[in-house]
Amino acid sequence: QVYLVESGGGSVQAGESLRLSCRTSGINFSISRMAWYRQAPGNQRDWVAQISNDGSTNYTDSVKGRFTISRDNARATVYLQMNSLKLEDTAVYYCNTKYRNVVYWGQGTQVTVSS
């Protein structure tokens, strides 16, 4: 059974930081590309960042320079360090991977940024 479990969300003020974690099980994590998505109320789920098995990363333009995705293969965990948070970063954040041609999602963790 594959599990993706996010944690680390919360309520912060604009300009502050949060670090999200996504702990996985049931997949060969070290060879898996991992991604973070987010969904604000009334919006579609949008891609935020991804990290390949070789450690290469990509980000959506709105978070470049503020967010950092990283992975710890020993812990089978992917992280999203979010700095300089803005009001528009408010959303539910989801961990994502595709393993053996099946797409998996975590349950999501809420991030709320207030002024």
pLDDT tens track for 46-101: 999 999 999 999 999 999 999 999 999 999 999 999 999 999 999 999 999 999 99
**For 9-16, what is the mean pLDDT?**
98
| Burial state string for 68-84 with b = 16 or more CB within 10 A and e = fewer than 16 | bbebeeeebbbbbebee
pLDDT value of residue 4: 98
